[in-house]
Structure 1
Amino acid sequence: MKRIILLLAAAFALAAAPLSKTVAQAQAPGKTVLKINVLSPFVATGSGFIEHAFGPHVSGQFGAYITGASVSGVRFSGYGFTPEVRYYLSDYKPAPMGLYVAGYGRILNYELTGKDKDTGKEYKASYTPVGAGVAAGNQWIFNSGLTLDIFLGAGFNGGSLKINTGTEDDFDTGFLNLLGSGFRVRPGITVGYSF
């Protein structure tokens, strides 16, 4: 009889051991995530985000970036902000992890500098588009707290060019579509840390 009780106790202990590991792995993630977009350097930009979960399905994210590059002989530098609200679709994973849909805004500010090669004269303008869009993605939070967020969005931005020196003809306005006017696709892969 003692052997049977001892055998049942050992079997119960062995069966319970994997359950305790499973519970430890399924703990809720931290509610806040700091992350950077690893695609940004390919377009001479640096961008970062902070996301915070406000409930089991809803989070808010705030992104900021700085940029500087030359396009069509025009040097531009600037910054932008992207406020975003995300709705996480899973009933089994709490925000900020899992599949989500989002709505976002864009507020951008660029300073443009062009130079006439013939006269050497410098022209300056500012460009401040704003816009909004939608996105969908998936964010994974690993046991170590590291995060991976892959998303794709689409939106529309609009703004006007304010000439400080020179005329609009001094700037190739076709490149403004590269900077943020019109329909925009917003891809991203971010890595970060959840706490």
Structure 2
Amino acid sequence: MRKLYFIAVVGCFFLLQHTAQSQNLVKANLLAPLLQTGSFYYERVIDDTKSTQLGVFFTKFEELSGFGVTPEFRFYLSETPAPDGFYVAPFLGFMRFTVEDNEFESYKGTSTNFGGGLVAGRQWIFKDRVSFDIFLGPEYTASSVSVESGNKGDIEDAAFSGWIGRGGISLGLKF
């Protein structure tokens, strides 16, 4: 059921992009490598005040490895047309992690997280080609844990649940 819900959300995200305007951006989060993560975004402008963005990340950090998908809808509040300016963006998040430790306590399981939140940010477009985006905001996420072996508590400790922060600095290209 959750997979079906997730597919429906992503499908609706792409249906919102029915505009003939062709402003697209691809971006990479410059802070993500600090957490041994690759984080990338695709943004499409809908009109002068709105855009949609789809983010994906992949990670392998200590005993945690997995991926996430984050669709968001941006409302640009500046005088300049999107995608340049200050924005606020509600978003949803889906994350799936494998949690595994074979060195000390020997446990393995998965954590599936659903959540959402709101970020505020500022994006600059230079020479009508290069984007620089800074954003920050809160996210609430709930996780469900599946245990293959070991103690469920060890896997729950490694999973994200509750309030967390979402932020980044991304650099990209507009086309």
| TM-score under structure 1 length normalisation | 0.75
Identity of matched residues, %: 35
Match of 1:175 among 124, 148, 158: 158
Is the CA contact (8 Å cut-off) linking 2:110 and 2:155 kept in structure 1?
no
Match of 2:143 among 148, 153, 159: 159
Question: Distance in 2 between the 1:128 and 1:62 partners?
Answer: 19
Q: 1:83 is matched with which residue? A: 71
Number of aligned residues: 155
Please give the per-residue CA displacement for 1:62-91, whole angstroms capped at 9, x wherever unaligned. Answer: 000000011xxxx1110000000000012x
Question: Distance in 1 between the 2:125 and 2:103 partners?
Answer: 51
Is the CA contact (8 Å cut-off) linking 2:99 and 2:158 kept in structure 1?
no
Deviation >6 Å, runs of 4+ = none
Q: 1:115 is matched with which residue? A: 102
CA distance 1:193–1:164, change in 2 (3 Å): same
Higher share of residues assigned strand: 2
1:193 Cα offset (Å):
0.6
Aligned counterparts, 1:1-195, within 5 A: 31-70=23-62, 75-90=63-78, 92-115=79-102, 117=104, 122-143=106-127, 145-169=129-153, 171=154, 173-176=156-159, 180-195=160-175
Higher share of residues assigned helix: 1
Q: Which runs of 5+ in 2 are unaligned?
A: 1-21
Q: Which runs of 5+ in 1 are unaligned?
A: 1-29
Q: Which has the larger radius of gyration?
A: 1
Question: Distance in 2 between the 1:158 and 1:55 partners?
Answer: 33
Is the CA contact (8 Å cut-off) linking 1:52 and 1:59 kept in structure 2?
yes
